[in-house]
């Protein structure tokens, strides 16, 4: 990483995600939701596609980030879960810490780039990361 990248926090250059991969197929299934999210959020997005949707790290994980996830026809977030399940900020902070640790466990996973809604988005096709995130979030339901 160059000195300017360190100073200004630019994203590393990742290779383009090949269109004939399993991850590309998974992205295609949730593309409409991803495009909407990419238009609504100006922060960097990192998508971890999964079998039944995907997880979107918003911001700059593992330091400062939020998360949204796509399940079927729904996009969920901490905000929607707080309202739906009456969760406390303390619970959300604990889960954020668990997600941060999960992200750090998989920082060496291959990453790619794809264009979604005219934005470069990082794609991390890591089933182990998706499984860990799914397990953490499932405890909130």
Phi, psi values for residue 64, rounded to 5°: -115, 120
d(CA 135, CA 140): 9
Q: Residue 27 corresponds to which tokens in the numbers above?
A: 């992205």
Q: For residue 108, give both structure tokens.
A: 């060496």
User: What's the chain look like in SS3?
Assistant: CCHHHHHHCCCCCCCECCCCCHHHHHHHHHHHHHHHHHHHCCCCEEEEEECCEEEEEEEECCCEEEEEEEECCEEEEHHHHHHHHCCCHHHHHHHHHHHHHHHHHCCCCCCEEEEECCEEEEECCCHHHHHHHHHHHHCCC
Q: Is the preceding omega at residue 62 within 30 degrees of 0, hence cis?
A: yes
The pLDDT value recorded for residue 9 is 52
132 vs 106: CA distance, rounded Å: 10
Q: How far apart are CA 10 and CA 81, in angstroms?
A: 31
What is the pTM assigned to this prediction? 0.89
Q: Domain map of the chain by residue range?
A: 19-138
CA 96 to chain centre: 13
What pLDDT, on the 0 to 100 scale, is given for residue 80?
A: 87
pLDDT in tens, the chain (141 residues): 444 444 445 557 999 999 999 999 999 999 999 999 999 999 999 999 988 899 999 999 999 999 999 998 899 998 888 888 888 889 999 999 999 999 999 999 999 999 999 999 999 999 999 999 999 998 886
Q: Write down the pLDDT at residue 1.
A: 41
Tell me the pLDDT tens digit for each residue of 97-130: 999 999 999 999 999 999 999 999 999 999 999 9
């Amino acid at each position: 990483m160059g000195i300017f990248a360190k100073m200004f926090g630019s994203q590393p250059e990742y290779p383009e995600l090949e269109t004939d991969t399993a991850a590309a197929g998974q992205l295609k299934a949730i593309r409409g939701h991803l495009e909407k999210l990419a238009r609504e959020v100006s922060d960097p997005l990192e998508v971890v596609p999964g079998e039944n949707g995907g997880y979107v790290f918003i911001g700059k994980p593992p330091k400062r980030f939020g998360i949204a996830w796509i399940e079927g026809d729904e996009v969920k977030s901490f905000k929607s879960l707080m309202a739906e399940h009456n969760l406390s900020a303390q619970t959300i902070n604990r889960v954020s810490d668990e997600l941060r640790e999960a992200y750090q466990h998989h920082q060496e996973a291959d990453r790619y780039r794809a264009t979604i809604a005219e934005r470069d988005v990082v794609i991390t096709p890591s089933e182990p990361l998706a499984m860990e995130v799914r397990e953490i979030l499932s405890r909130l339901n």
